[in-house]
Amino acid sequence: MTEVSMTVNGKAVSGQVEGRTLLVQFLRETLGLTGTHVGCDTSQCGTCVIHVNGKAVKSCTIFAQEADGAQITTIEGMANPDGSLSPIQKAFQDYHGLQCGFCTPGMVMSAAALLAENPTPTEAEIRAYLSGNLCRCTGYHNIVRAILAASGQGVAAE
């Protein structure tokens, strides 16, 4: 076992991990942050997307030791400090950007990474950026509308 330390959602944390411990296992099982989901375990679905030093990363495809010393943000760190929903989360609610909700943590984290890189993406850019996030309810249309709205751009009426 090896000791790892990192900053998760602004808080310094540490714990013992094996070489094979994935970052998502450390987040969910050691820290109890179960908002980050594991959908496929084959690096394809994107429900486990978090931010490592500000970049979107699949937390099921990086070892916990590789994140030693990193700044991590998970879905639990996305709300405003007063606990109210962040603009992206609010837009997902307003535009019904979720059905079963399982993919939502990864969708929100990818959306946040996209808007940090590109504050006013086109619909095509949003769809391209979400190519690694699967919604098995196939609710993509409203997810894209939510992200357009969160970016402050107009959303066409249905």
Partner 1 sequence: MYSFDLDRPVTLEAALAALKAEDAQPLGGGQTLIPALKQRLAAPSRLVSLAAIPDLCGIDLEGETLTIGAATPHAMVAGQAGAYPALAALAGGIGDPAVRNRGTIGGSLANNDPSACYPAAVLGSGAVICTNIREIAADDFFEGMFATALEDGEIIIRVRFPVPQAACYRKFDHPASRFALAGAFVARFPGSVRVAITGVSEEGVFRWSEAEAALSARFAPDALEGVSLPPEGMIEDLHGSSAYRAHLAGVMTRRAVAAMV
- Our CB check for partner 1 shows the closer of 80 and 122 to be 122
Alpha helix locations (H) across 12-103? Answer: 23-25, 87-94
The phi and psi torsions of 133 (rounded to 5 degrees) equal -120, 115
Place of tokens 């679905």: 45
Rounded Cα gap, residues 145 and 126, in angstroms: 9
The secondary element (H helix, E strand) that includes residue 37 is none
Report, in Å, the least distance between residue 133 CB and partner 1.
8
The secondary element (H helix, E strand) that includes residue 8 is strand 2-8
- Our CB check for partner 1 shows the closer of 22 and 150 to be 22
Rounded Cα gap, residues 92 and 151, in angstroms: 12
Stretch that binds partner 1, among 16-24, 75-83, 86-94, 145-153 (CB under 8 A): 16-24
Binding characters for partner 1, 97-136, by CB under 8 A (x = yes): -------------x--xx--------------x-xxx---
Which residues from 17-56 bind partner 1, rule CB under 8 A?
A: 18-20, 22, 41-44, 46, 49, 52, 55-56
Report, in Å, the least distance between residue 114 CB and partner 1.
8
- Check: CB of residue 92 under 8 Å from CB of residue 108: yes
State the residues that interact with partner 1 by CB under 8 A.
2, 18-20, 22, 41-44, 46, 49, 52, 55-58, 61-63, 65-66, 68, 110, 113-114, 129, 131-133
